[in-house]
Chains A and B, each alone.
Chain A
Amino acid sequence: MTAGVSFVSVLRCAEAIAEACALGMKYLPLIWSGLWRKPGRTILIFLQVAVAFALFGVLQGLKTGTARAVADARADLLIVHSRLSSLAQPLPLGLLEQVRTVPGVKVAVPVELTGGTYQKPDQGIGIVAVSPDEDWQSAFTYTIAAEYLAAFRESRTAMLVKDSVAEKYGWKIGDHIPLQFPAVVQRNGSNDWAFDVVGTFTDSDVGGGRYIVIVNYPYFDEARAAKKGTVNHFNVAVSDPQLAVQVADAIDARFVNSSHETKTESLRELNQQSIQAIGDFDFLIRAVVGSVLVALLFATTTMMVQSMHERIPELAVVKTLGFTDRAVFLLILAEALAVFVAGAVCGLLLATLVLPLAARFVPGLSMPGIVLALGLALGIFVALVSASIPAALAARLRVATALAGHRAA
């Protein structure tokens, strides 16, 4: 029975939509002329809708974009750091051999991190020192051309630079670049270092830092005066991504109760934690989007009610010609839908164009299709809500009173 009832209601719904569409096609010229009755007003409403949805797109893109960046982060890439403090607490290089013998570990690479500056103290560059062992790049999120990898292995003072660094400072392959490492003193007492650019790379990890370079760890460790033989962490690629959690636990288990207990986490977990901070903005994003939509709803509703009042004589004529109340209702709704859908599409497109620029300031911005769909649905919703009052007023218009020049109550 219930199936029958729902089937009938579905049919009714489909019928109504079909009717609306047919009406839309038939009365397209009428809707069109209604829209351009006051071009200035229509264009302003359109712009207002476009601006509101551009903002919606950017804010929602921030939210979903970062969530997606976390989901995309590699779960099969493990970071082994010290349990004492996950930041700036060194591990001895000697642990590497033990890490490598843990079953499921495919590649383990020692990584040392420090901060460098180029020419000016405010031009900071993240220094990633890695040991160029066989297949080391598989334990990183970097994409590096084969010839650059070979060149990096050959020279001890070689440096691979991220494309954004090369672009910012105009470095080319073969350049000899002086850098200052404020926290790392060379054996000769100097903070000045220099490396040769041998290639560029890109990084698929949004949390990986914007300005980073890769240098040779054995050379770096040999040349520095302090903290010799230590690393910040080990990067580990596992042979089977399904077993990443077990491998992480096995690594930590190997060093339990030793003087260097470790904590192993996947890149996805790490990104999740660093991006969680944006979760604190969820409330703010919702508040802003909410207030934008309320202001928009109010503005367009009053505007449409006003325009309806101005059109009372026209609508009365239309009704006299035989239009039903329902047709007039749909007519007004269709006009609003046309403006809102056009405005929402333009606004969301604008946001899509602007986001790559904003991504320079906030990593991880992107505009997944779901945001576009959500925005469009929201646009239709706001259009229907704000047009329903004027449409209902128009539908209830009594022809005789309207023609007599009285205003609707």
Chain B
Amino acid sequence: MVTLRLLPADIDLVGHEGEAILTTIVRDGFKYRIGCRRGGCGICKADILSGEVSYPTTVADSILTPAERDAGVALTCRAVPSTDVVVRFSEESKLRLVVPLAFGIAVAELTGKTRARTQNPDRERERHAG
């Protein structure tokens, strides 16, 4: 699991193993400007300010150019964080919460993770073992 910090709204979410940035955000009740969700249109791009992402699925250079990759631009429907990441969305992305219930679950997951990591290492070990 990794933490995704979304800017400028300053929202923290927990990304699951192998999950693209878009999947995490939508699962946690948010919407933003997206297109095909298949890496073909480039509409869901955002800037990675820190951390690393990888692309398990092939992405066309015409959609995400090597120069963009070098500059930290990510195609959020395909980019899978391999570390904690800070992602900055543009104003045009219109990131907003549409399902507060799902975000509530996301927050519980996040605080659970934080507590497990910082306050209860035994429980964290149990969870992994179980």
Asked if chains A and B come from one complex, the reply is no
